[in-house]
Amino acid sequence: MNTYQHLPLLQQICLGTIGVLELTFFIYLLVSVCILHSRRRYCLLAFTLTFITYILVQSLSDMGRFFFFAPPLTLSPLAHWIGKLPWLAVALFLLLLFCCGAALFYHLQRSKKNTLTPNSIKESLDALPDGVCFATADGIPLLINVTMNRLCGVLFDSELLNAQHFWTDLTELPQRETNGVLLRTQPILTIQIPDGTIWGFQRSRLPLTDFQVWELVAYDLTEQYHLHQELNQRNIRLNAVNERLRQFSRDVEQVTREQEVLAAKRRLHDQIGRSLLVLRPYLAQPPAERKPTALLYLWQYVVSVMQSTPSQTEESDEWEKVLHAAKTVQVKLTRTGPFPQEQPVKILLLTALRECLSNTVKHAKGHHLHLSVNERDNRWIAKLSNDGLPPQGPIEESGGLKTLRHMVEHVGGHMTTEHTPRFLLWLDLPRGVNEE
């Protein structure tokens, strides 16, 4: 086997290059071990590997210069000894050194995962999406991550060189020509940068005893800010809807009161009109023929009519009351067909009877009022007619008839009037209607 000194020059250069690369690698390991403050034995191992490799590389370099330039250069004893070694032994020795260095490198990589170093802290802060800056009381930065430096560059087109000046510039943003927009100062300083994102800035002093350190942080508040704005808009719309609902409630209450008053006025008008019609025959009699007992009965009836309510018309003797009222005003009341007992059909028929009775006496001058009731297709068909004078023209509904129509249509029925050849009132009422 050839010795190292008898190797071709190209192979010697290759082995020398490998040695230089290993030396560089071992120097890196030595520096890493010192930074990590590893155990003494690892430091000693790294130093030994670096030293041996340096001596070996230096000897190989001397041997190369000797054979390349020839005498008068002389070899060192170590270089002369290495030159007589088999080249394979030199290669294996370089491989052995590399394996030792690789094992040490593997140990260092494992140690980095469990060891906190200044570099690891910086890497961790740079990986944060938020901006972080630690500075002295004078504003001198101690540690700045990439995000905070980027925000400073976006807002002021410069790097963060003084944290105190940076905070002052942020608070005075409206007075400065910057690329950001100050949205609010409370509860935190909120600024919108040109790309549309919104950041919140806060500053606080850390509770350290040795010296003062200020912490400056920046949070991405874009989503929270937009959600807050949307919530405010929804609250505004909700308040407007609530106000409309309150106004609607007031309007409904007012309309309800007005309807109740109007219904009471209509009921009072109809009742007074019927009561006067009841007294009319008595007043038409000669004074000598008037009986006080009859007047007393008439007034009792008038009072009962005035005190009646729609709910009281549901009594079983209402039909008899209407018959007696017709008899009092000298009108014959007849009926064909069944008289409905379901509400509100019964109330509507009684109301129609009273209104037609009044109109028969007051307008038609009649003496006979007839009610015809039939059941057809699950509906009640009622017809009221009198023998009095026919109307002079189409009937103009007002007062009681208008109120009756409103009541009929309210329950889903239909009301029709005819004026030729005589007065007719048709009511088409559904069955099974509940009283409201």
Q: Which of 152-156, 167-171, 207-211 has the lowest mean pLDDT?
A: 207-211
Considering the domain architecture, whether residues 99 and 148 belong to the same structural domain is answered as: no
Amino acid code (one letter) for 113 = K
More confident residue, 86 or 145: 145
Tell me how many domains the chain contains: 4
Considering the domain architecture, whether residues 109 and 137 belong to the same structural domain is answered as: no
Say if 385 falls within a structural domain.
Answer: yes
Q: Report the pLDDT value the prediction gives residue 299, as an integer from 0 to 100.
A: 64
**CATH code of the domain in which 164 resides:** 3.30.450
Q: Does residue 62 register a pLDDT over 70?
A: yes
pLDDT (average), residues 227-246: 91
Say if 204 falls within a structural domain.
Answer: yes
Say if 435 falls within a structural domain.
Answer: no
Considering the domain architecture, whether residues 353 and 426 belong to the same structural domain is answered as: yes
Count of C-beta atoms within a 10 Å radius of residue 7: 19
Q: Report the pLDDT value the prediction gives residue 382, as an integer from 0 to 100.
A: 92
Considering the domain architecture, whether residues 148 and 210 belong to the same structural domain is answered as: yes
Considering the domain architecture, whether residues 164 and 205 belong to the same structural domain is answered as: yes
| Domain end among 220, 250, 271 | 220
Secondary structure (3-state) at 429: strand
Q: Report the pLDDT value the prediction gives residue 403, as an integer from 0 to 100.
A: 82
Q: Does residue 136 register a pLDDT over 70?
A: yes
In tens, the pLDDT along 295-325 reads 665 566 566 655 655 444 444 467 787 887 7
Q: Report the pLDDT value the prediction gives residue 72, as an integer from 0 to 100.
A: 45
Q: What is the span of the domain harbouring residue 330?
A: 315-430
pLDDT (average), residues 235-257: 88
| Domain end among 308, 340, 370 | 308
Considering the domain architecture, whether residues 20 and 70 belong to the same structural domain is answered as: yes
Considering the domain architecture, whether residues 320 and 398 belong to the same structural domain is answered as: yes
Q: CA 63, CA 352: separation in Å to the nearest integer?
A: 136
Strands (E), 50-158: 131-136, 141-144
Considering the domain architecture, whether residues 321 and 426 belong to the same structural domain is answered as: yes
pLDDT (average), residues 427-432: 86
Say if 188 falls within a structural domain.
Answer: yes
Considering the domain architecture, whether residues 345 and 384 belong to the same structural domain is answered as: yes
In tens, the pLDDT along 17-47 reads 888 898 888 888 888 877 766 677 778 888 8
Q: Report the pLDDT value the prediction gives residue 201, as an integer from 0 to 100.
A: 94
Q: CA 77, CA 88: separation in Å to the nearest integer?
A: 20
Q: Report residue 17 CA to chain centroid gap.
A: 69
The closest alpha carbon to 404, from 421, 385, 429, belongs to 429
| Domain end among 220, 249, 265 | 220
Say if 150 falls within a structural domain.
Answer: yes
Q: Report the pLDDT value the prediction gives residue 195, as an integer from 0 to 100.
A: 87
Q: CA 263, CA 155: separation in Å to the nearest integer?
A: 73
Say if 436 falls within a structural domain.
Answer: no
pLDDT (average), residues 71-99: 77
**CATH code of the domain in which 377 resides:** 3.30.565.10
Say if 32 falls within a structural domain.
Answer: yes
Say if 48 falls within a structural domain.
Answer: yes
Which DSSP string do the residues of 271-328 spell out, in sequence order? HHHHHHHHHHHHHHS-GGG--HHHHHHHHHHHHHHHH--TTGGGSTTHHHHHHHHHHH
Considering the domain architecture, whether residues 319 and 423 belong to the same structural domain is answered as: yes
Task: State the average pLDDT for the chain.
Answer: 80
H or E element in which residue 205 lies? strand 198-206
Q: CA 191, CA 193: separation in Å to the nearest integer?
A: 6
What band does 175 get if pLDDT is binned at 50, 70 and 90?
confident
Considering the domain architecture, whether residues 45 and 152 belong to the same structural domain is answered as: no
Considering the domain architecture, whether residues 105 and 191 belong to the same structural domain is answered as: no
